[in-house]
Structure 1
């Protein structure tokens, strides 16, 4: 029988926190994979927070026969940041690992994370997010996202490379619970980029960031809507503006960095999205169509390059919207160009 929904007994070494929303089959798959871990089941617990799914999640999950303690929290839909925050506060382990409900994990996943948290350390461990073997069947924008994850992993794997706070992502990360609570946890007012903003505060508080390719997850996706993807790009631009205002000394969270770090040939298109946000949408649509054609022709590099431009245009539209006018844009660009304080990325 599973010790599900029990908090009796000594605190475990590790708490796994997973927010879920309308993904009962996927979260069930992950919980079953966690049942096969090499880490003894008494050494960890799993806290699932159902963020207002349309159908019952708690009942079916607690009916699973699992060897570890499982607790399921239920809340009205409030977003991933609020759900993960609730889960971390409910966690009893000294180390917390956050992952997503659509991930798959190897049997030594938890053990590998714990090896990077020796006694007395204050490490934030970023595990690798590797693409599902079926990545080729996914939409172009999801394959592009996997490409970005791989590129970042390669950059952080170079000898001497240093992971920073603005690299934090919630798909595969572990940290001391005390440090999370100490900095106040996720900023629940942020609809996107709450992970990056948390990472900045953890680094400012003295935590060390480590990239651990051995503690990997496999990421598939059930996202099939291009419209939702492009809206998410807009939201990232908006909320990164908030993060930049909150941390003006951190160059790596400034949304306008995207313009300056992009290939020179792409900058006119990005600029058009800022100068004429609505009129330039036809240009974005043309870039998307060209990327789709390139993808069908097997020109993967060109397809990814075009997808990056389309994303960047919508992202900067979001930043332009949140800036509230040219004065706000000028202030944001000036903050980037001044490059004050810690560049972080």
Structure 2
């Protein structure tokens, strides 16, 4: 078992449409290696790392297929235990769990070395936190899952930190029409900073979000849509917003309902729906590219940084999430 002990900074995020829709705290973080196990060869004390909730062995069937980022050897673990089904953390004799292999929201974490990515030590800690999940998940969904084509049209449902990712990815890939949908009018400015060309506030109309998207796309819908809110009815809306026969929807948002209502006709008309973990990004191969782009300031990540609190004031972060101006809250450890 190869382990590294890490002390780090976490962030919390708003995801998806605002105004009575769910707020989802993120598990993103960046840390400094405090110590390593005697078998760890690729990390040392003092290295700056980003924890991830999936690994990449680069050898298993999935890793070499080029079709998925979900490694079979180092999968996403939701049990809260290490790969050997043990925990490295406890308090007063009671076992604690490593949520998503990350064990974030804490001053110290213990992680399998295969679930951390070493980054340049000069990287902005807050920006490194932003790319460890939220923003990168959305960016990867446009880049790796949808493979948005130059000249295409895109709709993004929910302009939290996740939703701003596919906007940025679509812009980089040459999409010419990028429509952002959010009930929070303040997200218009954020969307435009990342490359959005059109904004829809569904609260300003009696028409559905998909109808409003079609009005902006010649009545036929967009080529790609990204559902980033986790709001159950918007899964069907995001499909309906795409073109009959060729439209593709990537589901990224996770809500509180394990089973959601779904309009079967939306997909019978030849549209495609695909789910995504971490936007299809591979933990080593792709994340290193994202980190490099972050280091070169190719993303306007400063637009995400709206609030900051100390760990002692973490309860305040949950209140800040409810504010319409909030995108990301940095929690300083």
TM-score, scaled relative to structure 2? 0.26
More helix by share: 1
More strand by share: 2
TM-score, scaled relative to structure 1? 0.26
Structure with bigger gyration radius: 1
Higher relative CO (CA 8 A, sep ≥ 6), structure 1 or 2?
Answer: 2
